[in-house]
Chains A and B, each alone.
Chain A
Amino acid sequence: MKPLALIAVLMTGILLLYGTIDMPNWGDPDSPASIHVSPRYIEKTVEETAVPNVVTSALADYRGYDTLGETVVIFTAAMACILLIRRPRK
């Protein structure tokens, strides 16, 4: 069982490392992730939302729906724990 798990882990690792050949270098300012939409967020955040912290304004204003969904996720986790564990008192 353990040697089989080790072989599976090694094969997955080698496949993932083969996939990093196409990834951009570390610290590259021209990578495709950094020139698509985040320059617009950085440049327009003070004049559109008057909040200097780009992470907070992107989380709560530009991507507000995702934060609503995430709050529902953590609320559902609390409800799941309550329904699983609490026993009714006799």
Chain B
Amino acid sequence: MIAHLEDVIIQTVCRILIPFIQVYGLYVIAHGHHSPGGGFQGGVILGAGFILFCVAYDINEAKRRLSEKLDTVFCSLGLIIYSGIGFTCLVLGGNYLNYSRLGRILPVDPVNARSLGILGIEIGVGITVMAVMVSIFLDLVSRGKHEEGLG
């Protein structure tokens, strides 16, 4: 197979850039209310940061940071957050995904409770999209064997 190429320039630049990329992804998720952005966009940016790490370093290094089992748990965690907020609204007496009912357990009025509900489900969607991007990339790039580097 192709030998793994350890290039000093690529590794140094990625080591500097990846924290900024991840902070920018969190910024895009959190500011979905006031500027273009939201859950999907921020999740893709977070996933792209992790894929850049996989490209620059070895795949085994990346799997030491985020193993496949933890990645699959994150895929489901985002959906559980989304449906969990919907079920909480159902239990509190309204329709499914009617966020104004969350104003009964949170100390805000119903209009701002909708805003907080929107933030909650955007966080869930961002976690799921990040985990799915990383999972599909790790599956496709190593063809299932998961034991050799990217080269």
Residues on A lying within 8 angstroms of B by beta carbon are 47-53, 55-57, 59-61, 64-65, 67-68, 71-72, 74-75, 77-78, 81-82, 85-87
Contact = CB atoms under 8 A, between A and B. Distances in A.
Contacts of A72: 79
A54 B51 CA distance: 31
B139 A65 contact: no
Interface of B: 32-39, 72, 75-76, 78-79, 82-83, 86, 97, 99, 111-112, 114-115, 117-118, 121-122, 124-125, 128-129, 131-132, 135-136, 139-140, 143-146
B132 A75 contact: yes
A61 B70 CA distance: 30
B125 A51 contact: no
Tell me the dominant secondary structure on chain A's binding face.
Answer: helix
B115 A51 contact: yes
Given A61-B114, A81-B135, A75 B145 contact: no
Contacts of B36: 53, 55
Contacts of A52: 33-34
A53 B78 contact: no
A56 to B, nearest CB: 5
Given A61-B118, A78-B135, A78-B136, A67 B125 contact: yes
30 contacts: A49-B114, A49-B115, A50-B111, A50-B114, A50-B115, A51-B33, A52-B33, A53-B33, A53-B34, A53-B35, A55-B36, A56-B33, A56-B38, A57-B118, A60-B38, A60-B122, A61-B118, A64-B86, A68-B83, A68-B86, A71-B82, A72-B79, A74-B129, A77-B132, A78-B131, A78-B132, A78-B136, A82-B135, A82-B139, A87-B145
